[in-house]
């Protein structure tokens, strides 16, 4: 059974960089059939796609966040990571990592991590 687990600090100061890692177990991040994504959810609000990465390093990012986002993948550790710079209180959210299929007309997230709350506060 595929499992994803987010890790990273729960508290980040304004203007600093938020760093999160997702560790994948029960399957290979190098699978040719899937991308790996980040989604966030501010408290009491809806879901927002942040970015996706393929094991080869190809990446895609929400245009509204693109200037602040850095994405990477480490196939040797079966992990992928997200860095979000210059954070503000508006970046406070539960951050999820997820596996997604992207083939032809289909694009969906089938396995999700449990999520990690990141609070931006001094």
Partner 1 sequence: QSVLTQPPSVSGAPGQRVTISCTGSSSNIGAGYDVQWYQQLPGTAPKLLIYGNSNRPSGVPERFSGSKSGASASLAITGLQAEDEADYYCQSYDRSLTGSGVFGTGTKVTVL
77-81 long-range CB contacts below 8 Å, 24 or more apart? Answer: 77/23, 78/23, 78/24, 78/25, 78/28, 78/29, 79/21, 79/22, 79/23, 79/24, 79/29, 80/21, 80/22, 80/24, 80/29, 80/36, 80/53, 81/19, 81/20, 81/21, 81/22
User: Considering beta carbons, is residue 4 or 12 the nearer one to partner 1?
Assistant: 4
50 to 26, 76, 79, 106: CA distances (angstroms): 24, 24, 17, 18
Say how many residues touch partner 1, by CB under 8 A. Answer: 26
Q: By CB under 8 A, is residue 110 in contact with partner 1?
A: yes
Q: By CB under 8 A, is residue 34 in contact with partner 1?
A: no
Q: Which of residues 68-107 bind partner 1 (CB under 8 A)?
A: 96, 100, 102, 105-107
Q: By CB under 8 A, is residue 67 in contact with partner 1?
A: no
Q: By CB under 8 A, is residue 108 in contact with partner 1?
A: yes
| Residue from 49, 68, 70, 83 binding partner 1 (CB under 8 A) | 49
Structure tokens at 32: 């040719």
Q: By CB under 8 A, is residue 27 in contact with partner 1?
A: no
Q: By CB under 8 A, is residue 56 in contact with partner 1?
A: no
Q: By CB under 8 A, is residue 37 in contact with partner 1?
A: yes
Residues within the interface to partner 1 (CB under 8 A): 37, 39, 46-49, 52, 59-64, 96, 100, 102, 105-110, 112-115
């Amino acid at each position: 059974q595929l499992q994803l687990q987010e890790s990273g600090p729960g508290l980040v100061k304004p203007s600093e960089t938020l760093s999160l890692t997702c560790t994948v177990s029960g399957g290979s991040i190098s699978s040719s059939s899937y991308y790996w994504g980040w989604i966030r959810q501010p408290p009491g609000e809806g879901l927002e796609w942040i970015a996706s990465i393929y094991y080869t390093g190809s990446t895609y990012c929400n245009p509204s966040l693109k200037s602040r986002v850095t994405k990477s993948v480490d196939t040797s550790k079966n992990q992928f990571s997200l860095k979000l710079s210059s954070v503000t209180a508006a970046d406070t959210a539960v951050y999820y990592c997820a596996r997604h299929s992207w083939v032809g007309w289909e694009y969906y997230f089938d396995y999700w991590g449990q999520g990690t709350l990141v609070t931006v506060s001094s």
